[in-house]
Chain A
Amino acid sequence: MAFSTTVTRRQKIKRKAPRGFLKRALKRQKPHLRLETNGDLLVHLNCLLFVHRLAEESRVNACENKCGIIKKEHVLAAAKVILKKSRG
C-alpha cells in the first residue's frame, strides 16, 4: 500500500523558475507591492532554500523514526521547525 501512495524521486527536475507563478503569488497577497526586476528569481531562490531545508529536516525525521519513506508526520514535524526558522 505504501508503494502505491509513494512518489519516487524524479530523475530530472525542472530547474526553470516559475516566474509567472511567483509574481502572481505576490501580487495576489500584496496587490500594492511590486517586485523589482528579477526579484522573482530571488524569491524563487528563497523558496528553493526553504524547500531544501524542509526536505532535509523531514528526511532526518524519517531516518530518526527508522522509516524508509517520508511520511506526513515527518513533514509536519519538520515544517514546524523550518517555518519558525524561516520567519522574517
Chain B
Amino acid sequence: MADSKSPESEPTMRTLLRHVLDSAVPRTPRRPRSARVRNQSSQTKATARRHSRGARATGRRSHVKATGRLEEQTPRTLLRNILLTAPESSIVVPNSVTMPVPAPEVVRLSRRESSQGSLELRLPELEPPKTPAPVLLAPGRKKPRLRLSLFQQEVDQGLPLSPEPHGTADASSLTSSSLNLTFGTSLRSQSVQRPGLARRPLTRRAVDVGAFLQDLGDTSEAMVSPGDSYRTPVALLAKDAVLEDTQPFSPPLVGCSPRGRRSLPCRSDTGAADAGRAVGRRTWSGPALQNSPREPTQLPAGRSEEVNTLAVGFPNPSSGDSGEDGVEPLEGEGEAGENTEEGAVNVGAVEAAAGMQGSARTAESEGCPEVTEADGAVEAEEPEGSSGDKDTSSRTASPQVASGALGALQAQRRHQFLEPVAPPAAAGLCAEPLSARLPPRPRTAGPRPRQDPYKAGLSHYAKLFSFYAKMPVEKKALEMVEKCLDRYFQHLCNDLDVFAAHAGRKTVRPEDLELLMRRQGLVTDQVSLHLLVERYLPLEYRQLLIPCAFSGNSVFPAQ
C-alpha cells in the first residue's frame, strides 16, 4: 500500500509503523497476565478483534517471542512483515542497499519489544531509519530522470520521423521546463528549420488519432490504397507524441493521411517559407490553389458554396498581382455578412493574398514536382500538402478534390468540414463581419403591450364596487360599472372645470371638490368632508387631508 506509493511517503509510513509497534508495548505491562492468556486463545478469531486487541496481543507476544516469531497473524507480526517486505517493493533500483537497512531495524524492534525498555531509548533508535530513507529517496528521484532522458534519446534515435512531434508536444504540454529544454535541443538539432511548423503537425496528429477509428469505416474508400499505408505510421507517430485531444473536429480524418505524407515533404517546403510564418495564410492559400479542381466538384452540389469557390477563385488569378488580391477579397468580405462560410473563405483568401503570396507561390512550385512524382489521383492532395500542411480545412478539402470521381459526396463532406472550420478563422481574423452580422438579427418583441392604464384604474374601482356590493356580481355587471365610472369621471372633470373656471382659477382646489360633494349630497351640514375622509380613507391619507396640530406648535397640513 504505502510502499507502492511514491518513495517519499515511505519514510513516514515506516516511522509510523515503528511508532505503533513501540507505543503498543508499554501498555501491555499494565494488564494482568491472566487477561493476556485469554486474549491469546481468542487471537485466532477474526482479524477485527485482533486490531482492537492489538495492544494486548503485542504485550503477550513479547513473552511468546522467546519461543519464536512464527506465530499466527497478529498485528505486530503483520507490521513487521510489512517493514521487512516494504523496502524491496518500494525501492526498485537499489535492492541490495535497501534490503540490509530494514532487517536490522526489525531486529531492533524485536529487541525493544522483548526488553520493553523506556521510551527514551527507543526514540533515538527510530531516527536512524529516517536518515537512510532520504538516501533511498534520492536515487529513486534520480532514476526516473535517467529513464526519461534515455527514453527520449531512444525515441529520437529510433524514430527519426517523430522528433518534430515530440518537440511540439513537449512545448505545448508545458510540463517541466527542464524536460522541455532537453527535448527541444535534440529535436531542433534534427529539424532545425522552424518551430512554427513543428507546432502544426501536433494538432494534425491529435486529430488523426481521434478520427482514425471513424476514418477506417467512412473515408477509406475515397483514399487511395497508398494513403492507407501512410495512415498507419501517422497514427503511430501521433500516439508516440503526447497528443492533445483538444481539437473538437473529427472531420479532418480524410485529410489526416495526406497530412502525414505531407509532413515529410512539407519540411523541405516549409523550410524555405518559414520566414513568413504566416501559417494561417498558407493554409488558406492551399484552398485557393485547389480552386481549379474544386469548382467542378462544387458545381454539381449546387449550393451557395459555389459563390465561395468563386470568391476564392479570384485570388488565384490575382495571386499573380498582389495588390489586386487584397482589394477583391475585401469586397468578398462585404458580401460575407450574408454567409458565414463565404466570409470565412474570403477572409482566408484575403490573408493568403495579402500575407504570403510569395510563400504560397514557392509552396506551389515545390508542390508541383511532388505531384508529378505522386500518383495521378493523389496529385490534388499533394499540392495542398505543400501549401496547406498547416490547416485542417485545406487538407480536408484537398483529399476530396483528389478523388474527383466522388465529387458530389465529397462536396457534401467538404461543406460539413468547412462550416466548423470557418467560425474560428472568422472569429480570429475578421471580427468586423461578425459584429456586422450580429445587430441585424431580429430580436424578439419586448414585453407585451400593457393594458390601458385608464382601464386598469377603472377596474380598480370596479373591484371596490364588488366589495361594497357585498353580493356576488356578474362580470357583465362589472363591465357596466366600468362604463358608469367612465361616465362619472367625465362628469366629474367637467364639473371641476366649471367650478375652477367660475372661481377664476385654473387649479382645482379642495374647496371645489367640497362644493361638488355638497352638490352631490355627499357632504351635508351633519356630515362634513373631514368626517367622510375619516370614514373612507386610510390613516395615511387622512393625515394629508385633515389639518392636525403637531408638536412644535405646527399644523399640518397648513391651512
Contacts of B508 in A (CB 8 A): 26, 33-36, 39
Judge whether B494 is part of the interface by a CB distance below 8 angstroms: yes
Instruction: Count how many chain B residues have C-beta atoms less than 8 Å from C-beta atoms of the other chain.
Output: 65
Q: Which of A6, A33, A34 contacts B472 (CB 8 A)?
A: A6
Bound complex: CA of A43 vs CA of B508, how far in Å? 10
* A30 on interface, CB distance cutoff 8 Å: yes
A15/B472 in contact, CB under 8 A = no
Secondary structure call for the A interface:
helix
| Contact B520–A85 (Cβ < 8 Å) | yes
Flag if A34 contacts B544 (CB, 8 Å). no
A55 with B487: in contact, given A36-B509, A42-B513, A88-B492 (CB under 8 Å)? no
B-facing mask of A3-39, CB < 8 A → 1, else 0?
0011111100111111001101110111011111111
The answer to whether B461 and A51 have CB atoms under 8 Å apart is yes
B507 proximal to A (CB < 8 A)? yes
User: A32: which of B465, B506, B514, B519 is its contact (CB, 8 Å)?
Assistant: B506
Which of B467, B513, B545 is close to A9, meaning CB atoms less than 8 Å apart? B467
| A28 CB contacts on chain B under 8 angstroms | 454
Say whether, besides A36-B509, A49-B532, A88-B516, A75 and B480 are in contact (CB < 8 Å): yes
- Which of B35-43, B138-146, B534-542 is found at the contact surface with chain A? B534-542
Count class of interface residues, chain A: 35 or more
Q: Which of A16, A39, A56, A71 has most chain B Cβ within 10 Å? A: A39
A88's nearest neighbour on chain B, judged by CB, is B495
Q: How far is the CB of A27 from chain B (nearest CB, A)?
A: 10
- Tell me if B48 counts as interface (CB < 8 A to partner A): no
Most buried by B among A14, A44, A47: A47
**Distance A42 CA – B521 CA, assembled complex (angstroms):** 15
Q: Mark B183-203, 1 if CB is under 8 A from A, else 0.
A: 000000000000000000000
Q: Which single member of A25, A32, A46, A71 contacts B454 (CB below 8 Å)?
A: A25
B154 within 8 A of A: no
Residues of A within 8 A of B509 (CB): 36, 39
Partner-contacting stretch, out of B58-66, B238-246, B496-504: B496-504
Across the two chains, which residue of chain A brings its CB closest to B482? A75
Nearest CB in chain A to that of B489: its residue:
A25
Residues in B neighbouring A6, C-beta threshold 8 A: 472-475
B477 on interface, CB distance cutoff 8 Å: yes
Q: Mark B449-463, 1 if CB is under 8 A from A, else 0.
A: 000011011001101
Judge whether B484 and A10 touch: CB under 8 Å: no
Contact between A83 and B474, CB atoms less than 8 A apart = no
Chain B residue with the shortest CB-CB distance to A67: B471
Question: Which residue in A14, A49, A72 is a CB contact (below 8 Å) of B477?
Answer: A72
The answer, among A35, A46, A62, A69, for a CB contact under 8 Å with B522, is: A46
Judge whether B481 is part of the interface by a CB distance below 8 angstroms: yes
Partner of B516 from A5, A46, A52, A82 at Cβ < 8 Å: A46
Give Cα A82–Cα B517 distance, bound, in whole angstroms: 13
Contacts of B490 in A (CB 8 A): 29
Given A51-B485, A88-B516, does the pair A39, B510 have CB atoms closer than 8 Å?
A: yes
A69 to B490, CA, bound (A): 28
* B271 located at the interface, meaning its Cβ lies under 8 Å from any Cβ of chain A in the complex: no
* Contact of B27 with A by CB under 8 A: no
How many angstroms between the C-alpha atoms of A6 and B472 in the bound complex? 6
User: Would you call B472 and A70 a contact (CB within 8 A)?
Assistant: yes
Neighbouring B residues of A47 by C-beta, 8 Å: 461, 485, 488-489, 492
- Interface status of B448 (Cβ within 8 A of chain A): no
Residues in A whose Cβ lies below 8 Å from that of B472: 6-9, 68-70
In angstroms, how far is the closest chain A Cβ from the Cβ of B497?
Answer: 5
Contact check, B497 vs A30: say whether CB atoms are below 8 A apart.
yes
Contact B476 A5 (CB under 8 A): yes
Q: Are B465 and A41 in contact (CB under 8 A)?
A: no
Q: Which B residue's beta carbon lies closest to that of A50? A: B488
CB of B497 within 8 A of CB of A33, answer yes
A46 to B, closest residue via Cβ? B517
Q: CA A59 – CA B468 in complex, angstroms?
A: 9
| Chain A CB within 8 A of B46 CB | no
Chain A nearest Cβ from B172, distance in angstroms: 65
Across the interface, which residues of A come within 8 angstroms of B492, CB to CB? 43, 46-47, 88
Tell me which of A21, A41, A76, A79 contacts B460 (CB under 8 A): A21
Q: Is B555 an interface residue (CB 8 A)?
A: no
- Measured between alpha carbons, how far is A47 from B492 in the docked complex, in Å? 9
The reply to whether A74 and B536 contact each other, CB–CB distance below 8 Å, is no
* Bound Cα distance A83, B461 (Å): 15
Q: Given the complex of chains A and B, what is the CA–CA distance between A25 and B487 in angstroms?
A: 12
Contact of A79 among B484, B493, B544 (CB under 8 A): B484
| Residues in B whose Cβ lies below 8 Å from that of A17 | 537, 541
For A58, the closest partner residue in chain B by CB is: B469
Contact B480 A79 (CB under 8 A): yes
Knowing A5-B476, A45-B536 touch, does A83 contact B506 (C-beta < 8 A)?
Answer: no
Contact A29 B454 (CB under 8 A): no
Q: Which residues of B contact A38 (CB under 8 A)?
A: 510, 541, 544-545, 557
Q: Please, which residue of chain B has its CB at the minimum distance from the CB of A29?
A: B493
Closest A residue to B498 by CB, please name it.
A88
List A contacts of B537 (CB < 8 A). Answer: 15, 17, 41, 44-45, 48
A26 and B506 alpha carbons, distance in the complex (Å):
13
- Identify 4 new A-B residue pairs, CB closer than 8 A, beyond the known A69-B473, A83-B487: A21-B460, A25-B489, A33-B506, A43-B513
Can you list 15 pairs linking A and B with CB atoms under 8 Å apart?
A6-B473, A10-B463, A21-B457, A25-B489, A29-B490, A42-B510, A43-B492, A46-B492, A47-B489, A50-B488, A51-B468, A70-B474, A85-B520, A86-B488, A87-B495
